[in-house]
Chain A
Amino acid sequence: METSFWPLAAVLISLLGAIPIVLSDRRPNLREAWTVLIALGKFAIVASLLPSVLEGGGCRFTLAEVVPGVPIALRVDAMGMYFALVASFLWFCTSVYSIGYMRALNEHDQTRYFASFAVAISATLGVAFSENLLTLYLFYEMLSLSTYPLVTHKQDAEARSAGRKYLTYLLGSSVALTLPAMILIYTMTGTLDFTVGGILAGKADASTASILLVLLVFGFAKAAVMPLHGWLPAAMVAPTPVSSFLHGVAVVKVGVFSILRIVFFVFGTGLLADLNLGAVLTALASVTIIGASLVALTQDNLKRRLAYSTIGQLSYMILGAGMLTEAGMTGGLLHLSMHAFGKITLFLCAGAIYVAAHKSNISEMDGLGRRMPVTYAAFFLASLSIIGMPPLGGFLSKWSMVVGAIDGGRLVLVAVILVSSLLNAAYFFPIVYRGFFARDAEDGGEGGIREAPVLCLIPLGVSALFCLVLFLWPTLALQLIQRVVSP
């Protein structure tokens, strides 16, 4: 694998980009120009690395030799590339949306907001391109810390307690669970490199391996596996672009991505199958899927309902990987991007509703769909994708997971997926129904079209469209996943 500067550039561009953003504090237009420019540059760099990954190549870069056998190093492989593409593309959409959202609401401290955002996306790509567990841990922590000012952006009492919860869960779990697990793995194997087929095979017995697996699944609390999910609904006090990108895509998917990384490249699916540890993953995931979907039904605040929906959907990815069949793993990985596009659309719609109508509770949104048809159409498409209906992307991933469950002879898991999909429909359809058909509570008649600013509408339209596009042309995603699942 060739050494190249580009993986580092992909990570650093937005980290260094935070500097001109901070420096152009007094000139908002210039500052936003930087944000968009950096987002474009980032996506371009990531995309330019794609061809070599598809050819089976890839590249790496060592930053520093810190511990014998464990450098801080970046490597671009299929799995990292898959996540990085999704994240950097959606970051671009969110950046555009952020400008519209923050300006429409005339928010305070926009410079801090955009700078923290830039650091957060750097950390996300760092996780995607990490060559070993130590590097991943480094960027994982960086992401927790850089998103703290975003979560607490409002700086009121609620934000304070949400921020406290956020860091307690994320930092506490990573220091108390991930760090010891990482050191134990290093003690046993002398390495932390992500290796095809895993590094623990033959080095860990069944009890050690299961303890490590549980430590790591909960240690990466960003994946919000119950009972370590409480930070995610709390984090919804953040501005909506933060919720949409970070708590629909980057932060939570970093959690899932980290778990999938260790499942495929530290434990290795072979070892998990031998020790029958896939069941641990699927059991934890199933409980979360059903539990979170039930709680989502009871939430009236739109963003909180979406947050609980996210908790459930994240566990789908872990469920798919835990099946340890090829179709199941493919489905789990595929769901990562399908859910990303779907959930970000839903959040962007929630934000658009807040900007245009200043409403955040579902019970107050009666008849709103008639005034915001574009937003509601996008919301409808995205919710269909999350539920898993054709012709939308979410159908492919859920279908693949059902096939995987049947392949593995685990009919219980099929039931879990089906029940959960019904629950998904039960918490999404009423929103859309009330939006279009319920009598308008406010003025009883048509108030004319009152959509959010166009800078908000375009990104959510694009991401909704991608839910459809990904159903029709999932080739690129499947190609990359293929390299992960059967190398």
Chain B
Amino acid sequence: MSFLNLHMYGLTAPLVGAMLLYAAGRLGSRITLPIVFGSLSISLAASVLVFAEVLHVGPFSYTVGNWEPPYGIELVVDHLGALMILLISSVSLAAALSSSRSVAADLHERRRPFFTLYLILIAGLYGLALTGDAFNLYVLLEITSITTYGLIALGRGRAALSSFNYIVMGSIGACFYLLGIGYLYILTGTLNMADLHRIIPLLDGRGAALATAFAFLMVGLWIKMAFFPLHVWLPNAYTDMPDGAAVLIAPLMTKVTIFLMIRVMFSIFSPVYEFIQHMGVQQTIVGVAAVGIVCASAMALGQRDLRRMLAYIIIAEVGYMVGGLWLANAKGMTGAILHIVNDALMTLCLFLAAAAIAHRCGGMEFDRLQGLTRRMPLTMAAFIVGALSMIGVPPTCGFFSKWYLLLGGIEAGQWLYVGALIFSSLVNAVLFFRIIEIAFFPAAAAGDHGGGPQTVREAPQAMLQPLLVSAAALIGVGLATGPIVERVVRFALPVGF
């Protein structure tokens, strides 16, 4: 039965790595990277095995230290959780490869604290994907948030201010979530998700208190995931953080929070509670999601900096997923869950490309990108694949999740949402082809100032390889959509869908 412990190795490897890294002190600067890659590789290997296990045998749960629930801490490894840990560990390993180069260039002597926070963040995300306990979820959510604040603050320029903004907003979100959990604990006397799920339908006559708890939980998570209009902290935070942190945080943080929303909606509460007992809510949330998609896409149009533009696109994509989940049909939910994976991969690809460009060009303002297709052909090729996935061109994976989301939108008759998705695809096409055009045409005769792209070369191998792998993954995952839906996502839908 040692197989059942594998996920614990995956969870503790980065945590132990972080402790070793910090304990080694200044002596450890030479072993920093071996520790990082070693622990993340263990984590990835464990995730792959756990994922295979779940596919063959089915979901299982695990009690940490044999303390039985509802008092002990329970970890639940179901299809969705296994998919998430696989996603988290593979994305973080790819990101770490690229980070190792950009951190060496940007942060110099602060490399050790950077990677310490980095590993703790990954352990936190990994734990979030596995936990079966609502309060544990809060603790892990705060672990990831606090490490993120620290990583952002290591950035340049106004990073400290952006981080402070995020701390304020993030803490408000955490308060809401904690209050929600408090309400639930008072109502039910338990914090175990399975227990909550069992007891909540029995709570007759406590509708108002329960609804408050649910609303608090949702608002708390929405702030953390930057769901429009609670997104204002995100663009600055994501623009100012170090490149090495952005490649990890941008793909994973919002997506894992969406996953947490799924947990709250379907593992603590139930579809019956959200979609049948409170019918009007669903309409409103999908409507807000649609408005959010349109607004965030429009704001992305106004940006002149690559990473800032990507930050607004992430906000739009959050709208995709929240909207898809609240469509309340199997197709929409399939699309949303698929989009968690796909969006993580395409954000990874684009941010890796952005990091490589920043590494060579010294910045990501559009003017610096001129003539890049010639100077960094492989980086730009990967960037274009990522862009096509964002636009939704088959066979990249972005197309297929959008396909399911659109199908779900049509089935639910949510035409506003369908229109918003198509609008956002068109805006993405404009956004990315504007960049591709800038990169394709050589620098204008006037502009050879500031070092210029003349000296720019292809990105270093450590940044290029994960980038190319992620671009290939976009096409690979796209072509494998059928099996993924059939063997994983189908089991991740709540009972009755």
Contact = CB atoms under 8 A, between A and B. Distances in A.
Interface of A: 63-68, 71-72, 134, 137-138, 141, 145, 149, 152, 155, 160, 163-164, 167, 171-172, 175-176, 179-180, 183-184, 186-187
A137 B396 CA distance: 13
Interface string B394-417: 110000100100110011000000
A66 B482 CA distance: 4
Given A72-B395, A145-B393, A176-B426, 18 more contacts: A63-B479, A66-B478, A66-B479, A67-B400, A67-B481, A68-B482, A72-B394, A138-B393, A141-B393, A141-B394, A145-B388, A149-B440, A155-B440, A163-B437, A175-B392, A179-B406, A183-B407, A187-B411
B425 A160 contact: no
A248 to B, nearest CB: 24
A66 B481 contact: yes
A65 B483 contact: yes
A143 to B, nearest CB: 11
Contact of A137 (B394, B400, B407, B480): B394
Interface of B: 388, 391-395, 400, 403, 406-407, 410-411, 418, 422, 425-426, 429, 433, 437, 440-442, 478-483
A116 B497 CA distance: 45
Contact of A72 (B425, B442, B479, B483): B479
A145 B388 CA distance: 10
Nearest to A109: B374
A187 B422 contact: no
Dominant secondary structure of chain B at its interface with chain A = helix
30 contacts: A63-B479, A64-B395, A64-B482, A66-B400, A66-B481, A67-B403, A67-B482, A71-B482, A152-B440, A152-B441, A155-B440, A155-B441, A155-B442, A163-B437, A164-B433, A164-B437, A171-B429, A172-B429, A175-B426, A179-B392, A179-B406, A180-B406, A180-B422, A183-B406, A183-B407, A183-B410, A184-B410, A187-B407, A187-B410, A187-B411
B401 to A, nearest CB: 11
Contacts of A68: 482
Nearest to B425: A175
Contact of B429 (A72, A134, A175): A175
Contacts of B433: 164, 167, 171
A186 B407 contact: yes
A183 B425 CA distance: 15
Contacts of B391: 171, 175
B410 A160 contact: no
Contacts of A179: 392, 406, 422, 425
Dominant secondary structure of chain A at its interface with chain B = helix
Contacts of A149: 440
A160 B437 contact: yes
A160 B393 contact: no
B393 A176 contact: no
B172 to A, nearest CB: 38
A64 B479 CA distance: 6
A152 B400 CA distance: 30
Contact of B394 (A138, A155, A171): A138
Contacts of B403: 67, 183
Interface centre among B393, B406, B480, B481 (most CB of A within 10 A): B393
A287 to B, nearest CB: 26
A293 to B, nearest CB: 32
A166 to B, nearest CB: 10
Contacts of A180: 406, 418, 422
A65 B425 contact: no
Contacts of B478: 66
Contacts of A160: 437, 441
A182 to B, nearest CB: 9
Nearest to A156: B441
Contacts of A64: 395, 479-480, 482
Contacts of B410: 183-184, 187
A475 B394 CA distance: 37
Nearest to B410: A187
Contacts of B394: 72, 134, 137-138, 141
B478 to A, nearest CB: 7
Contacts of B426: 172, 175-176
A131 to B, nearest CB: 14
Contacts of A63: 479
Contacts of A155: 440-442
B476 to A, nearest CB: 10
A164 B410 CA distance: 31
A477 B379 CA distance: 45
Contacts of A171: 391, 429, 433
Nearest to A187: B410
A187 B24 CA distance: 60
B383 to A, nearest CB: 13
Nearest to B483: A65
A129 B167 CA distance: 55
